[in-house]
Amino acid sequence: MDDIKYSNTPQHDHEHSRTSYDDQKDYGTPASQSDVQITLTIDDREITVPEGTSIMRASILAGINVPKLCATDSLEPFGSCRLCVVEIEGRRGFPASCTTPVAEGLIVRTQTPKLADIRRGTMELYISDHPLDCLTCATNGDCELQDMAGAVGLREVRYGYEGENHLKAEKDESNPYFSFDPSKCIVCSRCVRACEETQGTFALTISGRGFDSKVSAGISNFLDSECVSCGACVQACPTATLIEKTVIEHGVPEHSVTTTCAYCGVGCSFDAEMKGEEVIRMVANKNGGANHGHSCIKGRFAWGYATHKDRITTPMIRKNIHDEWQQVSWDEAINYAASEIQRIQTKYGKDAVGGITSSRCTNEEVYVVQKLVRAVFGVNNVDTCARVCHSPTGYGLKQTIGESAGTQTFDSVMKSDVIFVIGANPTDGHPVFASQMKRRLREGAKLIIADPRVIDLVSSPHVKADYHLKLRPGTNVALISALGHVIVTEGLVDEVFVKERCEWDSFVAWRDFVALNQNSPEVLSLVIGVPAEDIRAAARLFATGRNAAIYYGLGVTEHSQGSTMVMGIANLAMATGNIGREGVGVNPLRGQNNVQGSCDMGSMPHEYPGYRHVSDEATRKLFEAAWGRPLSNDPGLRIPNMLDNAIDGSFKALYCVGEDIVQSDPNTQHVTHALESMECVIVQDLFLNETAMFAHVFFPGATFLEKSGTFTNAERRISPVRRVMTPKNGKEDWEVTAALSNALGYPMHYKHASDIMDEVASLTPTFKGVSFKKLDELGSIQWPCNDKQPLGTPTMHIDEFVRGKGKFFVTEYVPTTEKVTPKYPLILTTGRILSQYNVGAQTRRTKNVEWHKEDLVEIHPHDAEERGIKEGDWVGIASRAGETVLHAKISERVQPGVIYTTFHHPESGANVITTENSDWATNCPEFKVTAVQVTRVSQLSEWQRNYQTFSEEQIAFTGKKPEASEA
Ligand code: SF4
Ligand code: SF4
Ligand code: SF4
Ligand code: FES
């Protein structure tokens, strides 16, 4: 008799310890978390499993395959198909193994003649109402119904199609990415449960009863329903009922490669399922540390941009931005760029050049760009798009807790009792994590939201915020002080934690400050716009609700006091002892895929990789020795400085990799003026983006499907990006930077992205233990990863803070200078939506445009009525920086006095109106507060009309036709 023992670790860890992280086997039901072990016998094999494990899971763990259809290990057991029946000694009947838990000493039989009969009979009923078109079905060979028919030995179907059946049920093809063919549905409910349990959207139901039962997406079709196209139902469906249209078109995939989504900071793991060089579908990897098999519309479906006709795959150069582009060889383009950089540095001095990298780049790409700038250009003029998003996080967390990163894993939220979301919109910006958060909320965790706008989380199916602090844009710091006031004055401080873990003097200074009457909710409520009693109640809940975790986003950082607010958040967590264990912590939700990683890799002018200041002698010597070049100890230029210096005439050349500063940075006119003032702008990107329209050299970039490297997500998780197809442009992006370096006389000898990571590891203590080999073994690693933590660090600051003692900072509220006036009486605030990503360059070139064809301006009914604005009207939005025109959407999601828009389409010109106000510490733009006036108009703004002409001309210069951006 075999004797097999399994631990109770969570499924992904469990499977990792048992085989490897990429085990995709379906164990039928989820793993149990119990510590109690149970031993039973299944088909003469003795097996020990945690209490609460189903007999089905125990059987599969023992290597016995029990037939199943309605069960899958990502969902709670349901027990509807009856295919998994077993016999248990001493019990009557034939219980379903998926819904029957193990018990000590049970003797189970999974294979008997009687069971075989029952299963065949069940399958026969299913098949008798199922089209017998297996040979021509798109999922032939990849269908659980087909597999089970084979597994139970079904050879004939006695009932025929004469009676009532569903074979003529109408297909729903409305969703651009997947199709629903009810004639193939076995009503197993896996899709409905996936939508509820995994995604938390509750878009599907089983309507009708008995024979009339059918899956329904509400009153209309999938596209018009509540469905958010996450794909969970498609992934869960065991038949060809819910199926990707790409599979119908191209057939089932032949091989797969595990890689990481290139969109948001959740960092979902996917299997790119391929046929030759063609991606057939992206399937969420169930062992992904960040996503556990879940996905959102972007990662799951929006990868078509990789082969979009707009992609530029040949290098191009030109002397003047009003010239046509000349297509040239890689050598010619690289040599031209190198000669221009040399010419400009000789003529204007070293500081006349710089580089910008992007959070869309891999760690390895960012590393080589900053190395090129520091070691080859000889300056520290390198910056990244984190400048305009999370630079205050880097600054604020470094000051208070000693490390510029979130403190937790995403899974930590499952142990939170109170979840405090500040200035973040997870269901749109971080959808897969939002689903996990909603799951915890459905289990009973409390929710506090601080946001000027009614985001989806405020009220969604089975989730309702306990407090929505609907503050006025720009008053975050007043709110955090008022919350601190309540905690201090009502005796809610965790003094034991503070005494043991924090700098007492800094705490006393903060405590005495927030305790001042000027910081009481009653005094500040007028400023914040939230009733004092709500602030008090939220503070009490946060401080007394056991494990309280803070999740925040750009609504915190993109303010003139962004860094102050980040420090205020850290103060709050420390004062209440909510840091250093699971379920708590300070968690910045990073917008783009590699914001964390690009900052880790030294993309800011003042810091080497690992956040070490360029003026630190020992660190500089380390890099000088490794790179063999003298390095500057002068913190270089930030993006705004580069732009200002360009206008002043002292900054002349820019190497911009993967970033589109014209669309994403504030005050577009200022950015374009700066670019026009430069003599050589080199852009490396997939498309002729808005910045490339001002460029002299264009290096075509590679998509994440065409290169190797790593991304680091919001939980410090380094995940592998694997090349699944040959780069259409002929080079991976790090190779382009290395070639430029070689042409400038500084050879970079890397053969593969892994060599770059090896160099990072050798020079960066927090990455010391990271290598591609280890990533292959573990799947992903959360840094710090070193001799002390060879497998990485899921939760940080457990025994002490990285800086030793946590430090409190006094956070005095200083109102922004961007004030409403009679001329500009409204506040514009910006954000993003689920279907689009950042500047939209990728998602606008997919079918995601069906959900968001244009940026709209949301305006409260009261403000709209005052101005005579109706739904769909053109409205002009004017600020002191500029003017643009968008269609109006009347909505009570925004409060009176506030309007809201997204910035996914370049022609919207959202940043034509944002100003250059910025965070005092980091220059992160104050995107969330712009004073504006809104009026009804009848035509586009002057900027938009000029933009249209200019962009059409620029596209024509590439030899492509100017066309609407669509898939
Ligand atoms: S659509 Fe698929 S998952 Fe949903 S009930 Fe039908 S067969 Fe099951
Ligand atoms: S795609 Fe996602 S949201 Fe839409 S029905 Fe399926 S599970 Fe629900
Ligand atoms: S966009 Fe974000 S949440 Fe969506 S699949 Fe990609 S990493 Fe996951
Ligand atoms: S798999 Fe157990 S009842 Fe369907």
Nearest to 825 by CA among 776, 860, 792: 860
Task: Express each pLDDT in 501-537 by its tens digit.
Answer: 999 999 999 999 999 999 999 999 999 999 999 999 9
Residue nearest to atom 1 of ligand 4 (CA): 68
What lines the ligand 3 site, CB under 6 Å?
Answer: 261, 263-264, 266-268, 291, 295-296, 298-299, 431-432
Residues 706 and 257 sit within 8 Å (Cβ to Cβ): no
Instruction: Work out the average pLDDT over 73-92.
Output: 94
pLDDT grade, residue 199 (50/70/90)?
very high
The sign one gets for the Cα dihedral 319, 324, 325, 326 is negative
Task: Express each pLDDT in 150-180 by its tens digit.
Answer: 887 877 666 665 666 666 778 999 999 999 9
Q: Which helix (H) or strand (E) covers residue 552, if one does?
A: strand 548-552
Name the least confident of 65-79, 723-737, 899-913. Answer: 899-913
Nearest to 303 by CA among 967, 863, 933: 967
- Find out whether the beta carbon of 60 lies less than 6 Å from any atom of ligand 4: no
Answer yes or no: is pLDDT of 653 > 50.
yes
Compute CA distances 163 → 158, 207, 464, whole Å: 12, 21, 47
Q: How far, in Å, from the CA of 910 to the mean position of ligand 3?
A: 24
Can you spell out the DSSP letters for 759-798? HHHHH-GGGTT--HHHHHHHS-EESP-SSSSTT--SS--S
- Find out whether the beta carbon of 98 lies less than 6 Å from any atom of ligand 4: yes
Ligand nearest to the CA of 144: 1
Distance between CA atoms of 521 and 532, rounded to whole angstroms? 5
pLDDT for 844 equals: 86
Ligand nearest to the CA of 96: 4
- With the most atoms of ligand 3 within 8 angstroms of its CB, the residue from 177, 410, 432 to mutate is 432
pLDDT for 11 equals: 40
Distance between CA atoms of 30 and 697, rounded to whole angstroms? 53
Answer yes or no: is pLDDT of 687 > 70.
yes
pLDDT for 214 equals: 87
Query: What is the position in ligand 4's atom list of the atom closest to the CA of 188?
Result: 4
Instruction: Work out the average pLDDT over 545-574.
Output: 93
- Scored b (16 or more CB within 10 A) or e, 557-586 reads bbbbbbbbbbbbbbbbbbbbbbbbbbbbbb
Residues 268 and 432 sit within 8 Å (Cβ to Cβ): yes
pLDDT for 140 equals: 81
- Find out whether the beta carbon of 237 lies less than 6 Å from any atom of ligand 2: no
pLDDT for 13 equals: 37
- With the most atoms of ligand 4 within 8 angstroms of its CB, the residue from 59, 69, 100, 125 to mutate is 69
Residue nearest to atom 4 of ligand 3 (CA): 296
pLDDT grade, residue 405 (50/70/90)?
confident
Answer yes or no: is pLDDT of 647 > 90.
yes
Amino acid found at 376: V
pLDDT for 161 equals: 59
pLDDT for 387 equals: 74
Return the structure tokens found at 637. 């230029």
- Find out whether the beta carbon of 312 lies less than 6 Å from any atom of ligand 1: no
pLDDT for 963 equals: 54
Answer yes or no: is pLDDT of 312 > 60.
yes
Instruction: Work out the average pLDDT over 578-588.
Output: 95
Distance between CA atoms of 489 and 512, rounded to whole angstroms? 10
Q: How far, in Å, from the CA of 238 to the mean position of ligand 1?
A: 7
Return the structure tokens found at 703. 């998509």
Residue nearest to atom 3 of ligand 4 (CA): 79
Task: Express each pLDDT in 3-19 by its tens digit.
Answer: 555 543 334 333 333 33
Query: What is the position in ligand 1's atom list of the atom closest to the CA of 204?
Result: 4
pLDDT for 906 equals: 80
Starting at the earlier edge strand, list the strands of the sheet with 269-275.
255-260, 269-275, 278-284
Region of residue 724 (left: phi > 0; alpha: psi -120 to 50; beta: else): alpha
Instruction: Work out the average pLDDT over 26-41.
Output: 95
- Find out whether the beta carbon of 782 lies less than 6 Å from any atom of ligand 2: no
Answer yes or no: is pLDDT of 352 > 60.
yes
Query: What is the position in ligand 3's atom list of the atom closest to the CA of 260?
Result: 7
Nearest to 750 by CA among 737, 763, 761: 737
Mean pLDDT of the chain: 91
- Find out whether the beta carbon of 857 lies less than 6 Å from any atom of ligand 1: no
The sign one gets for the Cα dihedral 668, 672, 673, 674 is positive
- Find out whether the beta carbon of 875 lies less than 6 Å from any atom of ligand 4: no
- With the most atoms of ligand 4 within 8 angstroms of its CB, the residue from 66, 72, 82 to mutate is 82
Instruction: Work out the average pLDDT over 393-409.
Output: 90
- With the most atoms of ligand 2 within 8 angstroms of its CB, the residue from 189, 199, 298 to mutate is 199
Ligand nearest to the CA of 269: 3
Question: Tokens 């989380």 map to which residue?
Answer: 457
pLDDT grade, residue 890 (50/70/90)?
very high
The model scores a pTM over 0.75? yes
- With the most atoms of ligand 3 within 8 angstroms of its CB, the residue from 260, 285, 291, 837 to mutate is 291
Q: Give the burial class of 249: count Cβ atoms within 10 A of its Cβ; 0-12 exposed, 13-18 middle, 19 or more buried.
A: exposed
Answer yes or no: is pLDDT of 784 > 70.
yes
Q: How far, in Å, from the CA of 154 to the mean position of ligand 4?
A: 18
Answer yes or no: is pLDDT of 108 > 50.
yes
pLDDT for 748 equals: 96
Task: Express each pLDDT in 213-262 by its tens digit.
Answer: 889 898 789 999 999 999 999 999 999 999 999 999 998 899 999 999 99
Answer yes or no: is pLDDT of 389 > 60.
yes
Instruction: Work out the average pLDDT over 275-280.
Output: 93
Return the structure tokens found at 209. 């009863």
Residues 447 and 541 sit within 8 Å (Cβ to Cβ): no
Distance between CA atoms of 482 and 487, rounded to whole angstroms? 9
pLDDT for 593 equals: 85
Nearest to 666 by CA among 411, 910, 920: 910
Query: What is the position in ligand 3's atom list of the atom closest to the CA of 431?
Result: 3
pLDDT for 852 equals: 86
- Find out whether the beta carbon of 242 lies less than 6 Å from any atom of ligand 1: yes
- With the most atoms of ligand 4 within 8 angstroms of its CB, the residue from 78, 110, 186, 239 to mutate is 78
Partners of 571 in the beta sheet? Answer: none
Q: pLDDT over 90 for what percent of the chain?
A: 75
Nearest to 655 by CA among 906, 353, 278: 353
Residue nearest to atom 4 of ligand 2 (CA): 227
pLDDT for 166 equals: 67
Task: Express each pLDDT in 805-848 by its tens digit.
Answer: 999 999 999 888 888 899 999 999 888 878 787 778 888 888 98
